[in-house]
Amino acid sequence: MRGETGGGKKTRSQMEDSQDLQLSDGIAQTFSEAASQAHQKMRILVADGNATIRKLLRHSLAKEEYEILEASDGKQTLEVAMQRPEPHAILIDARIGGVDGLEVCRQLKSDMQYRTIPIIIMTNSGSNEDIAEAVEAGADEFLSKPVNRGELAVRMRSITRMHQGNTEMIGAESVALSLARAVASKDGYSSGHVEQVANYAVAFGKTLGMDSAELKMLRYGAILHNVGKIAIPDSILEKTGPLTPRERALFHQHPRVGCDICSPLKPLRPVLPIIRHHKEHFDGTGYPDGLRGSEIPLKAQIVGIVDVYSALTNDRPFRRAKSHAEATEILRDRARHGMHDPKLIEKFCDSIDETMQVGRDTLPPVDVPLSLDIETTTESPAGAPVDVTAAHDAAGQNSV
């Protein structure tokens, strides 16, 4: 049991203190690093096979407060870009030797750790074809050779603004992940839950035609949907019996608390409606605001749906995992009884069915335990749908 003493095991109080300390240290470190980055000189990596061009570019940037790094081929560019501290921006020739500049750009933009580094591609002709190739590779800006100093200054100012925005977003993302994983740890389950729900949400968002900006906010909202539970007492989260009305009312405040936690982080403000409303029901019986129908933001509805599907298809403390077919049927049943938009549920089930036909390997991983807050429906002996929260309370398991 959790909280046992003796045999070198930590008491529950010691474990909670350790978790709180880790969370506090992690957030403090994130803000400290963000503040440090904001006051550092911008590190610009200039990558070109011609030493004379590198020298000219270095002198062109000398009047600005930049720290200049250099690379003479694509391989060296990747090595310098992946060193700590990493550059704040990269200026690279499209046809640099070895791994060419376009491929360097593709590799960095496909890596979650380095994708936010702004990259300026330098092309020889500036033709529409060259520009199209640079855009396809993921470049943030492009310049034509020979490089005009005035144009270079304009591009660098644009990159500076981009760097500042990325620094804010990276800091917010780090805090978000720290908080979300702390909640998973507080619940006693794997931190993989937040990544899994985020993967499902983004995959479904893509089928609905959301653009990259919408998908990014959907991902953050999915990661943070339960972050307010950090303020819920462990005595409620770990309770094995039914919650009292007071305890249930307190638990139902976690979407509001999550918004209060995240609202100071400016880049996360667009995701607040997801955090607040992912527990609303289509018929208005959800919480915290009792929204109904189209009043519930679409992204919040998506997170609510994928959260249930993810919970159903994983082993839980009180039952074994449902099959894919069983999970989609339960989702349809929930929609019939007013908990979800029936049309949105059908789109989700169709998209998951299609993915299952392609192959299980294309799905997000589903082999991690989840938190206990997902409500699902089952059948009573009389065949009437019931909230599993009540069913599990009756069985001595808290599943709110």
The model's pTM: 0.56
Mean pLDDT value across residues 287-307: 96
Instruction: Identify whether 114 is part of a domain.
Output: yes
Task: Extract the tokens encoding 86.
Answer: 């990493």
118-145 tens-digit pLDDT: 899 998 877 788 888 888 888 888 888 8
Query: In the beta sheet, which residues pair with residue 45?
Result: 69, 90
Q: Tell me which range, 81-85, 200-204, 372-376, is most confidently predicted by mean pLDDT.
A: 200-204
Residue 88's CATH number:
3.40.50.2300
Residues 131 and 81 in one domain: yes
**Distance separating alpha carbons of residues 342 and 169, to the nearest angstrom:** 35
Q: Which residue has the higher pLDDT, 279 or 380?
A: 279
% of the chain with per-residue pLDDT over 90: 36
What was the pLDDT predicted at 318? 61
Residues 140 and 183 in one domain: no
Instruction: Identify whether 165 is part of a domain.
Output: no
Mean pLDDT value across residues 64-69: 84
Residue 249's CATH number:
1.10.3210.10
Q: Which residue has the higher pLDDT, 268 or 91?
A: 91
Residues 231 and 87 in one domain: no
In total, how many domains does the chain have? Answer: 2
Q: Which residue has the higher pLDDT, 111 or 335?
A: 335
Q: Final residue of a domain: which of 92, 126, 147?
A: 147
Instruction: Identify whether 189 is part of a domain.
Output: yes
What was the pLDDT predicted at 312? 87
Instruction: Identify whether 22 is part of a domain.
Output: no
Instruction: List the alpha helices (DSSP H) in the chain.
Output: 12-39, 51-60, 74-81, 101-109, 128-137, 149-187, 192-207, 212-224, 234-237, 245-251, 254-262, 272-277, 298-312, 324-336, 342-358, 388-394
Residues 255 and 309 in one domain: yes
Give the 3-state secondary structure of residue 227: helix
Residues 138 and 199 in one domain: no
Instruction: Identify whether 111 is part of a domain.
Output: yes
Residues 51 and 131 in one domain: yes
Instruction: Identify whether 9 is part of a domain.
Output: no
Give the 3-state secondary structure of residue 144: strand
Burial status of residue 25 (CB atoms within 10 A of its CB: 0-12, 13-18, 19 or more): exposed
Residue 389 has pLDDT above 50, yes or no: no
Find all residues with CB under 8 Å of 51, minimum gap 6, and list them. 72
Q: Which residue has the higher pLDDT, 297 or 28?
A: 297
Instruction: Identify whether 164 is part of a domain.
Output: no
**Residue 193: band (very low, low, confident or very high) from pLDDT cuts 50, 70, 90:** low
Residues 236 and 364 in one domain: yes
N-terminal to C-terminal alpha carbon distance within the chain: 21
**Residue 196: band (very low, low, confident or very high) from pLDDT cuts 50, 70, 90:** confident
Residues 248 and 210 in one domain: yes
Q: Final residue of a domain: which of 129, 147, 165?
A: 147
Q: Which residue has the higher pLDDT, 80 or 4?
A: 80
- The residue type of 283 is D
Residues 138 and 189 in one domain: no
**Distance separating alpha carbons of residues 292 and 280, to the nearest angstrom:** 7
Residues 44 and 98 in one domain: yes
Residue 349 has pLDDT above 60, yes or no: yes
Residue 312: what are its φ and ψ, rounded to 5°?
-65, -35
The backbone region for 126, taken as left when phi is positive above 0, alpha when psi lies in -120 to 50, beta otherwise, is left
**Residue 386: band (very low, low, confident or very high) from pLDDT cuts 50, 70, 90:** very low
**Residue 1: band (very low, low, confident or very high) from pLDDT cuts 50, 70, 90:** very low
**Residue 397: band (very low, low, confident or very high) from pLDDT cuts 50, 70, 90:** very low
Residues 259 and 124 in one domain: no
Taking alpha carbons only, the member of 99, 310, 122, 79 closest to residue 204 is 310
What was the pLDDT predicted at 7? 46
**Residue 233: band (very low, low, confident or very high) from pLDDT cuts 50, 70, 90:** confident
Residue 84 has pLDDT above 70, yes or no: yes
Q: Final residue of a domain: which of 127, 147, 167?
A: 147
Residue 381 has pLDDT above 50, yes or no: no
What was the pLDDT predicted at 11? 53
Q: Which domain holds residue 182?
A: 176-394
Residue 399 has pLDDT above 70, yes or no: no
Residue 335 has pLDDT above 90, yes or no: yes
Instruction: Identify whether 230 is part of a domain.
Output: yes
**Residue 5: band (very low, low, confident or very high) from pLDDT cuts 50, 70, 90:** very low
Residues 264 and 390 in one domain: yes
Contact between 87 and 61 under an 8 Å Cβ cutoff? The reply is no
